[in-house]
Chain A
Amino acid sequence: MTSIVVVDDDQAILNLVDIQLKDAGYHVWKAANGNKALEILESQAIDLAVVDVMMPHMDGYTLTEIVKSDFEIPVILLTAKGEIEDKEKGFRSGSDDYVVKPFHPKELLFRVQAVLRRYDKPADTVIKIAGLTINRKNYEVQSGTRTILMPRKEFELLSLLASRPNQVMTRDFLIEQIWGIDFEGDERTVNVHIKRIRERLAKLTEEITIRTVRGVGYRLEVEGS
């Protein structure tokens, strides 16, 4: 089970985050300050730390730096509203993402899942294809100055097809890679997603087309190559 340490001097927030993460199936360790958190990190195998910025004695940035250098696990910062400078500082100290208080429980969960996913799949994170930059680290697609945020399955499907252009991928392969072996839906799900990606791509670029290979699967083609 994935273990998360939550560090905040505010007991109420600590409990709230604890409940939300536990409900989502994570194992949660609570720490009221930086030193407690470090004690837990030393004695337990922890996968991720959620750290509040404003804490007495040791602030969140300092703690993040120590966690990143000594334990090499992802860190999500909890910051107060509108502190954009703080966010830059947070990223400089090495945090992987941030959530602005007050936050919706689902937002925190979304961040936790995204960061953990990123750590699961290291390496080859950025694919550049026909003017599109597909960043598998932050799940963003860049087209010129425009940033595209796709629903996760669609993003994964596109990045998988784009990782090997012109190569046919079977529907079974795509399902296994993206939805997992336990997926209970049928091939139509893939078709629906492909259709949507096509519609969306059409607005962005004419150079990329996803072609259906009848009876087999799909292939991403780049014009002029």
Chain B
Amino acid sequence: MKTLYSRFLIVTLLIITGSTIIGFLFSNSYYHQKVKPENDEKNMEIITGIASFAENQDDLDSYLEQMGSAGYQLYLVDSSGEDKFYGGEFRDKELPGTIVEQVLAGGDYHGMKNFPRETFVSGFFADELRNTVGTSFDYNGERYALFMRPDIELLFSEVHILLGWIVVIMLVLTIVAVLIAARMLVNPIRKLSNATHKVVDENFDVQLDIQRTDEIGHLADRFNHMTRRLGELDAMRKSFISNVSHDIQSPLLNIQGYARLLENDTLTNEEKQDYINVIKDETERMSMLSKQLLVLTSLDQKGKLEKKEAVDVTAQLKETIHKYRWLFEEKDLFVTYDLEEAVLLGDEAMLYAVWENLLTNAIKYNRPDGSIEISLQNKAAEVAIEFRDSGIGMTPEEQELIFERFYRADEARTTEGTGLGLSIVNQVIDMHGGTITVESEQDAGTSFFVVLPKK
């Protein structure tokens, strides 16, 4: 496996090498462009000085010897071709004869300035005889050619070593530092990676202990938040599934049971009808359950309203009332409504489901000869709708739970219903940016207040 460590190391080494090469190329080019002619000129001055001194020396040989030990590499040739080196030895002693003749004839030699330019060799350090400056002088009536370059090795070797140490220490420290930095980066990532493994195994109570304020700390925070949310969703999903299976199972059992009862030949017609009615009711309940589950799933998937259209809420409410008028009649309910005209932006079908749920609840949980009052007030920026019934009401504990999925105040589940209706209502209103509140008193009635923004 390619670890982040090795990656960091390789990248660091590459950067060091690369920057070294680039730096060298740059400085070399700078040397050739700018330093070389200056250096040549400077050395030319020195050699001119040496030469003019040499002319007046008693002992030329010892003078040059002295110069050589003072840090100059010298090469002396006389007109007969006899030559001698003084000071540090040249690595490369090549020097074309024509140059010597030229200098003997009185010309100066600018070997440093004209030293060939090479990309990877710094001319400054080239310990070659050609990389010198040369001039001529007369001594005891004889003509000499003198070539010279400073003995770099002698002059700079300590600096070399110092520089070398600096570079080595820098390299080592850099690599160690990079490894430490990598470790600091890699450790939280390892922790994150381990944590994701746990999440994959549906273990949602991993909380990362990463206290950082940078991007990784941010990521860890997000991760913690995500796992917490996933945990909640998972718990919700599990209870949802167990609820759904219970709510599918119980009507099915009822249907099975009553179907078996119907096989009995001795039943009276009345009994038969009773059993058939139970079966009919139960199938209806299941059908409603599956419909509402579908609605909830689609709401979950949407999460937010995609399209908003102008919805005539007043017309929707009237339509809903119209639709259930037969039920008012059947239950002898007294229904009044006072609806101002109102149009708001929202999802028509979803809002319709809200009114239908609230109204059927008001009918379902009402008492015979009870009443329902529906009102709509069109305010400046919002629409306020109230459903008030004279029904069985709820305890405060029940009121807190009614918007939960599958919660039913009626534990025995004798009244038809799925326990999903108000949860759908709540979700739809939430998606519209509205609020729903409930006021209820047991055995006196319940009011639902819906407030929806117009936009």
Enumerate chain A interface residues (CB-CB to B < 8 A): 81-82, 84, 87, 100, 103-104, 106-107, 109-111, 144-152, 154, 196, 200, 204
A82, A100, A149: the one within 8 Å of B335 (CB): A149
Are A151 and B312 interface neighbours, CB within 8 A? Answer: no
If A100-B319, A148-B335, A148-B336 touch, whether A82 touches B352 (CB-CB below 8 Å) is yes
Q: Pull 18 A–B residue pairs with CB atoms less than 8 Å apart, ordered by A.
A: A82-B348, A84-B315, A84-B316, A84-B319, A87-B319, A106-B326, A107-B326, A109-B326, A110-B326, A145-B339, A147-B336, A148-B334, A149-B325, A149-B334, A151-B333, A152-B329, A196-B334, A200-B371
The 9 closest A-B pairs by CB, nearest first: A110-B326, A146-B338, A149-B335, A151-B332, A148-B336, A107-B326, A106-B326, A84-B315, A145-B338
Q: How far is the CB of B307 from chain A (nearest CB, A)?
A: 15
Q: A148 contacts which chain B residues (CB < 8 A)?
A: 334-336
Q: B371 contacts which chain A residues (CB < 8 A)?
A: 200
Q: How far is the CB of A56 from chain B (nearest CB, A)?
A: 26
Enumerate chain B interface residues (CB-CB to A < 8 A): 312, 315-316, 319, 321, 323-330, 332-340, 348-349, 352, 369, 371
Q: How far is the CB of B200 from chain A (nearest CB, A)?
A: 44
Taken together as a complex, chains A and B put the C-alpha atoms of A144 and B330 apart, in Å, by: 27
Are B325 and A110 interface neighbours, CB within 8 A? Answer: yes
Are A200 and B315 interface neighbours, CB within 8 A? Answer: no
Are A104 and B326 interface neighbours, CB within 8 A? Answer: yes
Q: A82 contacts which chain B residues (CB < 8 A)?
A: 348-349, 352
Q: A81 contacts which chain B residues (CB < 8 A)?
A: 352
Q: How far is the CB of A68 from chain B (nearest CB, A)?
A: 21
Are B340 and A145 interface neighbours, CB within 8 A? Answer: yes
**Chain A residue at minimum C-beta to C-beta distance from B320:** A100
**Chain A residue at minimum C-beta to C-beta distance from B338:** A146
Are A196 and B319 interface neighbours, CB within 8 A? Answer: no
Are A100 and B338 interface neighbours, CB within 8 A? Answer: no
Q: How far is the CB of A115 from chain B (nearest CB, A)?
A: 13
Are B334 and A151 interface neighbours, CB within 8 A? Answer: yes
Are B330 and A106 interface neighbours, CB within 8 A? Answer: yes
Are A146 and B334 interface neighbours, CB within 8 A? Answer: no
Taken together as a complex, chains A and B put the C-alpha atoms of A148 and B321 apart, in Å, by: 11
Are A149 and B328 interface neighbours, CB within 8 A? Answer: yes
Are A147 and B338 interface neighbours, CB within 8 A? Answer: yes
Are A147 and B337 interface neighbours, CB within 8 A? Answer: yes
Taken together as a complex, chains A and B put the C-alpha atoms of A104 and B352 apart, in Å, by: 17
**Chain A residue at minimum C-beta to C-beta distance from B349:** A82
Q: How far is the CB of A88 from chain B (nearest CB, A)?
A: 10
Q: A103 contacts which chain B residues (CB < 8 A)?
A: 323
Taken together as a complex, chains A and B put the C-alpha atoms of A144 and B339 apart, in Å, by: 11
Q: A111 contacts which chain B residues (CB < 8 A)?
A: 326
Given contacts A82-B349, A84-B312, A151-B329, 20 further A-B contacts (CB under 8 A): A81-B352, A82-B352, A84-B319, A87-B319, A106-B327, A107-B324, A110-B326, A110-B329, A111-B326, A145-B338, A145-B340, A146-B336, A147-B337, A148-B335, A149-B325, A149-B334, A149-B337, A150-B334, A196-B369, A200-B334
> Which of B330, B332, B349: most chain A CB closer than 10 A?
B332
Q: How far is the CB of A23 from chain B (nearest CB, A)?
A: 13
Taken together as a complex, chains A and B put the C-alpha atoms of A204 and B349 apart, in Å, by: 34
Taken together as a complex, chains A and B put the C-alpha atoms of A151 and B336 apart, in Å, by: 11
B321, B324, B337: the one within 8 Å of A146 (CB): B337
Q: B336 contacts which chain A residues (CB < 8 A)?
A: 146-149, 204
Taken together as a complex, chains A and B put the C-alpha atoms of A220 and B278 apart, in Å, by: 45
Taken together as a complex, chains A and B put the C-alpha atoms of A111 and B328 apart, in Å, by: 13
Q: A154 contacts which chain B residues (CB < 8 A)?
A: 334
Q: How far is the CB of B375 from chain A (nearest CB, A)?
A: 8
**Chain A residue at minimum C-beta to C-beta distance from B323:** A100
Q: A110 contacts which chain B residues (CB < 8 A)?
A: 325-326, 329
Q: How far is the CB of A194 from chain B (nearest CB, A)?
A: 13
Taken together as a complex, chains A and B put the C-alpha atoms of A146 and B352 apart, in Å, by: 21
Taken together as a complex, chains A and B put the C-alpha atoms of A84 and B352 apart, in Å, by: 12
Q: B316 contacts which chain A residues (CB < 8 A)?
A: 84
Q: B326 contacts which chain A residues (CB < 8 A)?
A: 104, 106-107, 109-111
Q: B319 contacts which chain A residues (CB < 8 A)?
A: 84, 87, 100
Q: How far is the CB of B353 from chain A (nearest CB, A)?
A: 11
Taken together as a complex, chains A and B put the C-alpha atoms of A205 and B333 apart, in Å, by: 19
Q: How far is the CB of B325 from chain A (nearest CB, A)?
A: 6
Q: How far is the CB of A153 from chain B (nearest CB, A)?
A: 8
Taken together as a complex, chains A and B put the C-alpha atoms of A204 and B328 apart, in Å, by: 19
Taken together as a complex, chains A and B put the C-alpha atoms of A150 and B372 apart, in Å, by: 11
B321, B323, B335, B340: the one within 8 Å of A107 (CB): B323
Taken together as a complex, chains A and B put the C-alpha atoms of A81 and B291 apart, in Å, by: 15
Q: How far is the CB of B38 from chain A (nearest CB, A)?
A: 93
Q: A100 contacts which chain B residues (CB < 8 A)?
A: 319, 323
Taken together as a complex, chains A and B put the C-alpha atoms of A100 and B352 apart, in Å, by: 13
> Which of A82, A107, A110, A149: most chain B CB closer than 10 A?
A149
Q: A145 contacts which chain B residues (CB < 8 A)?
A: 338-340
**Chain B residue at minimum C-beta to C-beta distance from A196:** B369
Q: B348 contacts which chain A residues (CB < 8 A)?
A: 82
Q: How far is the CB of B171 from chain A (nearest CB, A)?
A: 77
Q: How far is the CB of A142 from chain B (nearest CB, A)?
A: 10
**Chain A residue at minimum C-beta to C-beta distance from B319:** A84
Q: B325 contacts which chain A residues (CB < 8 A)?
A: 107, 110, 149
**Chain B residue at minimum C-beta to C-beta distance from A97:** B322
Q: How far is the CB of B72 from chain A (nearest CB, A)?
A: 105
Taken together as a complex, chains A and B put the C-alpha atoms of A103 and B312 apart, in Å, by: 22
Q: A106 contacts which chain B residues (CB < 8 A)?
A: 326-327, 330
Taken together as a complex, chains A and B put the C-alpha atoms of A103 and B315 apart, in Å, by: 18
Q: B339 contacts which chain A residues (CB < 8 A)?
A: 145
**Chain A residue at minimum C-beta to C-beta distance from B315:** A84
**Chain A residue at minimum C-beta to C-beta distance from B337:** A147
Q: A109 contacts which chain B residues (CB < 8 A)?
A: 326
Q: How far is the CB of A186 from chain B (nearest CB, A)?
A: 19
Q: A149 contacts which chain B residues (CB < 8 A)?
A: 321, 325, 328, 334-337
> Which of B333, B334, B371: most chain A CB closer than 10 A?
B334
